[in-house]
Each structure stands twice: as structure tokens, then as C-alpha cells.
Amino acid sequence: MSVASKVSRRLSETIAPEVLKHIYRPRLAGEMLITFPWYDALNAAHCVMLAKQGILTPEQAKAIAGGLLRIAEEGAGAITPDPALEDAYFNIEARLVELIGPDAGGRLHIARSRNDLSAALDRLRAREAVLDLLEASAKVRHTFIERGAEFADVVMPGYTHLQPAQPITFGFYLTGLASALERDAERLLDLWKRLNLSPMGAAALATTTFPIDRAMVAALLGFDGVLEHGLDCVASRDFSVELIAGAAQMSLTLSRFAEDMHVFVTHEFSSVEFPDSVCGTSSIMPQKKNPVVLEHLKAKAAHVVAGFSSAGAIIRGSHFTNTLDAHREGQALIWPGLAEAQRALALAGIAAATVQPKRELLLERARANFSTATDLADALVRFANMDFRTAHHVAGAVVRKLMDAGLQAHEADLAFVELASLEVARRPSGLSAAQVAEALDPVRSVAARTIPGGTAPGEVRRMAERMAVRLEGDEALVASWRAQLHQASIRRATALQEFAAA
């Protein structure tokens, strides 16, 4: 009797060519190389557990362990993907059967399913992505922190609504980004305790009657423990959605940095400069110096957000069990989205490391563009016993009079303040010429803000030091997780080799 399906006696017809073309062949095109190391780890851990639990005989364990070691040594390239076998797992199992025979080769799948395997594989892949993102983001945070401290005294206008607001420093701006990235990293760090749990042992969804040791498999794979509920194990991919959401938020932070720099580097702003080595040019216009890094960095966030949107939209319409729409299609854009997040971090690192603020020009603008008007209002409150709302109106009137006269903020004197105060408050301002000059000085404005989170150079450097300490702790935690996974791989490989040599 001829057998139509290569993976099931239930299916009596061959897989339709259209299904091979649009589902299995595209899946296998990249899946084998990408997932091969994870399947290698999952197979090794399961084999060791089955052998130690006595579910496999010593002879069977020896044969399977030897076959798995050979497959690992050969690599994914030794397997010619057959779309009629549907996916990478069945192709790897077919190779194992080919090497050691169907009786031994077919026993490795005892007490497991492609459902818990797929869930575990996604977790293994996701945790690697988390570590990669955290390590890459740490480098960018280092850059923002270090350069923030370097430029803590470079006074510049701060903007709201893209209009001059109050004086800040370029270092204050950069450490603000470091602060945001610290929280972005914290979200990924917090994900680890939900991500690094093993679903193995759930099998299809209802677990198994074999006396397996789920905790042993979890330990051999470097998981912190077991995700207990069998159905939840195979039904949920919330960890990957949370991961892409965290990556999206981080990419949005970086995109906003790129947006600011894209404005600042324009000819009209000319607030910062980037070296030629990170810029492009035009094929027709000889004068062009294009900020290509910034333009690509701005766009990367959209790709990451698309991965989150795709996953959420697909999972929304899936049933709470193992489904291919949620767990194949729903994950499809997550992985390229995470790759784009890595590229965003790399590009942001380049931009942050190479940007140079134009110190003199920025200070000149901060002096001229009325960004110290709030300080003038504060001076009226502090020295003239004026309520803030009235002081706000007086300072606003000063700005209006200067603008009408074609003058800039640093050209204001006591006479302007007195005239505005008489018109608005119906009394003299009570300020001295020295107090007016001091209030309108952006350097003094920055230096005076010494409260926690303020713009004073000393406070910016204090925040940078605090961020550096926190970053050091985050890096140590990530390094410990890396070490945990490495030690698990050593224990797993040692155990498998012992069974193969028995």
C-alpha cells in the first residue's frame, strides 16, 4: 500500500503543490538554519531526561545520543529540506531515523509534541534576542551617559513644540535620552522572569502519562523553572509580544533622538554637526551632505512597531490553544522586527558617538531667543513680591515690546521691564538692572537649577554617575544570564556525550 503523507498515516493524499509552494517551502527556506541550534538543544535535553528517567533503555539512549551528536556535527547544511515533511522538526527527525533506524530514532519523540517544542523554541529564540538587545542597548546607554557628562556645560535652547522654551545644556538633553533608555531596558530586564520558563512536558496541551521530569529538562536548557499549566504552555506567545513591544518602545526613543538631530543638523538650525564618515551625498548636487544614519534610524522604529501590530492583530483572532495563525503567522514579523531594533541601536550608537554641538552658536541663540523669559518672571516673584500669574504677564509684555522693537532677549534692560510692569501690574517692577541682567542670562539660568533632575552641570554629571552605576548593575545581570545559559549548554553536552559513549 502506498503512503501519501510522509508524516502521517491519517492523511491519505499528498500535500497539494500550492500548499507546498505557499506554506512549507517558504517556511523551510530559512527555518532550518535559524532553528537548527535550538532543536539541537531541545533534542539533547529531552534525550538525556528520557534516559535518566528510564523511559529509554541504555541501548536506545546510546543510539539516539550518538545520532544527535552526529547531526550536530554535520550541521544544518547536511539536511536537504523536504517540504513534504512540513517543517524543520520533521526533517531533523527524518535524518535521525536515517542514521540510527526507525525503532531508536522514533523514540525521541516520546512524551512531547511539536506544540511544546515550538513554544520552547520560540522562548529559546526570544531570550537570545532579549540578551542581544540588552547588550546592544547598554552600549548606547554608555555613549549617551558619557557624552552627556562631557557636554554638561554646553548651554543651548531647550524646545517645546519646536519653539524655544528654556535654556538647558546639550549634556542635559543627552542624559535625558539615557534616562529613557534606562526604562526601556528595564522593561526587557523585567520580561526575563516571565520568558525564561520551560513549556516542555506540556506535549500537545494535556501533558503526558510518561513519568518525565520537567524540571530536569528546564535546567538542561538553562530555564529558571517550568511554566506549569500545559494548555497555557502551548497556547501563549505573550512573551514574544511583550518582547517586540519593549523593542518597539526602545526604537521609538531612538527615533525621537534621530528626529531631533535631523532638525538640528539642517542648514537653518546648524546646531550640531556630524562627521563626513557617517553622511552621504547626492548624485547630482555637489554641495550635499545628507544625514543618512539619522534618516534610516528614524524609519527603523516603524518596522519594529509593525512586528508588534502584526502579532497583536493575528493573536487577537486566534483560539486559546496551539494554533498556526498565532504561533507561526503571528510570530512571522516579530523576528525581523527584532533585527530592525538591533540595527536601530547600532545606528543610534553611531549618531550619539559622533554628534558635535556647536557650543558658541547654541549659547548665542539661548541668549537671544527669549528662552529666559521664565527666569524673568521668577525674578519678579522672588524679588518684587509679585504673584506668578502677574509676573508671567509682565515678562510676556517685555518679550512683546522687544520683538516689536526688533530686539533680542539679551538686549533687554531695566527700562523695558519697568515699562511692562507699569502697564500690566500698575506698579514699578522692584527689580534692579543687575537682577534683570542676571535673570536673562542663560548660563546663570542653567546653573541655578540645582534641584534633583535639574540642568546645572553638576547635577547633570551627578545623574550621569547614577545612571552609570545602574547600567553597571544591568550589565552584570545580563552577563549572569549569559553565563547561566552557557553552563546549561555544557551540562547538556556532557550528559549527551556520556550516554553516547556508554
Task: Tell me how far apart the alpha carbons of residues 468 and 477 are, in angstroms, rounded to a whole number.
Answer: 14
Domain contains 56: yes
Shared-domain flag, residues 102 and 129? no
In terms of residue numbers, what domain contains 39?
17-110
404-421 exposure pattern, b = at least 16 Cβ within 10 A, e = fewer: eeeeebbebeeebbbebb
Residue 319 has pLDDT above 70, yes or no: yes
Residue 28 has pLDDT above 90, yes or no: no
Q: What share of the chain is helix, strand, coil (3-state, %, to 5)?
A: 70, 5, 25
Q: Which of 52-66, 74-88, 243-257, 443-457 has the lowest mean pLDDT?
A: 74-88
Read off the CATH number of the domain in which 104 is found.
Answer: 1.10.275.10
Domain contains 9: no
Shared-domain flag, residues 292 and 404? no
Shared-domain flag, residues 257 and 242? yes
Domain contains 451: no
Shared-domain flag, residues 237 and 161? yes
Residue 1 has pLDDT above 70, yes or no: no
Q: What local confidence, expressed as pLDDT, does residue 415 receive?
A: 94
User: How many other CB atoms sit within 10 Å of the CB of residue 332?
Assistant: 14
Q: What local confidence, expressed as pLDDT, does residue 14 receive?
A: 78
Read off the CATH number of the domain in which 409 is found.
Answer: 1.10.40
Q: What is the DSSP letter of 209?
A: S
Q: What local confidence, expressed as pLDDT, does residue 2 receive?
A: 47
Contact 221, 200 (CB under 8 A): yes
Shared-domain flag, residues 121 and 106? no
Task: Tell me how far apart the alpha carbons of residues 148 and 155 are, in angstroms, rounded to a whole number.
Answer: 12
- Partner residues linked to 159 by β-bridges: 164
Instruction: Cell numbers for 435, please give them.
Output: 537682577
**Residue in the structure block whose three cell numbers are 529540506:** 81
Beta strand ranges found along 342-468 (DSSP E): 356-357
Shared-domain flag, residues 83 and 100? yes
Domain contains 338: yes
Domain contains 251: yes
Shared-domain flag, residues 262 and 318? yes
Residues whose CB falls within 8 Å of the CB of residue 248, separated by 6 or more in sequence, listed in order: 301, 304, 305, 307, 308, 337, 341
Q: Which of 232-236, 326-330, 422-426, 446-450 has the lowest mean pLDDT?
A: 326-330
Shared-domain flag, residues 87 and 198? no
Instruction: Return the sign of the alpha-carbon dihedral for residues 67, 73, 78, 81.
Output: positive
Strands 197-198 and 163-169: unpaired
Question: How far from 28 is each of 37, 43, 184, 460, 489, CA to CA, in Å?
Answer: 15, 19, 34, 52, 26
Domain contains 105: yes
Residue closest to 170 by CA, chosen among 345, 298, 361: 361
Contact 192, 246 (CB under 8 A): no
Domain contains 138: no
Shared-domain flag, residues 170 and 263? yes
Structural domains of the chain, count: 3
Shared-domain flag, residues 60 and 97? yes
Shared-domain flag, residues 72 and 49? yes
In the chain, DSSP finds a helix count (H) and a strand count (E) of 20, 6
Task: Tell me how far apart the alpha carbons of residues 379 and 143 are, in angstroms, rounded to a whole number.
Answer: 37
Read off the CATH number of the domain in which 125 is found.
Answer: 1.20.200.10
Across the chain, what does the average pLDDT equal?
95
Task: Tell me how far apart the alpha carbons of residues 133 and 135 are, in angstroms, rounded to a whole number.
Answer: 5
Of 110, 143, 172, the last residue of a domain is: 110
Residue 147 has pLDDT above 70, yes or no: yes
Residue 6 has pLDDT above 80, yes or no: no
Please give the torsion angle defined by the CA atoms of residues 83, 85, 90 and 95, in that order, rounded to the nearest 10 degrees: -90
pLDDT digits (tens, 9 = 90+) for 245-265: 999 999 999 999 999 999 999
Instruction: Tell me the catalytic residues.
Output: 161, 282
Shared-domain flag, residues 296 and 174? yes
Q: What local confidence, expressed as pLDDT, does residue 3 receive?
A: 55
Domain contains 199: yes
